[in-house]
Amino acid sequence: MAKPATPLHLDRLDTPIGTALLVTSADGTLCALDWTDYEERLNTSLRRYLDAALLVDAPAPKSIRRALTRYFGGELNQLDAIPCHIPGTPFQSNVWTALRKIPAGTTLSYGALAAQLGSPTAMRAVGHANGSNPLSVVVPCHRLIGANGALTGYGGGIERKRWLLRHEGVEVA
């Protein structure tokens, strides 16, 4: 007999860069954050990482909404308090954990993060894990840039990446 789908809660939060889709578990942890213009990608990600999750419209915990609202209002350290559940491969988990340790207002290149993880030649693997991150903003994949300082791809679009970095005080072209 097939295991029943895990119910997850879907909420929406208006931000200065679009409406965010917040997916939380019954225990109040954030499982995914994406944008309404990428809702199909969110659904694909949920199927891949959370094994046939069932989405029901329900509000995210007030603490998560408050932390995100405060982050977008300028209190950049608020992301650290958001509890997350991010299933992935061991390598992805290592990358995502390392991303959460990059302070706001700081950037790293893909190569520098690969070196920090003890795999200096794994820049492309870091890039792939970064691009597979289901928790935009909270797992700050926007803080990874090209070795030459260029803003490289961002799942939510380069303009969002530029806005997020400027919001955090990073000078970008």
Catalytically annotated residues: 141
- Report the C-alpha gap between 166 and 22 in whole angstroms: 23
Contact present, 72 and 111 (Cβ < 8 Å): no
Distance of alpha carbon 9 from alpha carbon 22, whole angstroms: 8
Q: Cα–Cα distance between 173 and 171 in angstroms, integer?
A: 7
Quickly count helices (H) and strands (E) in the chain: 6, 6
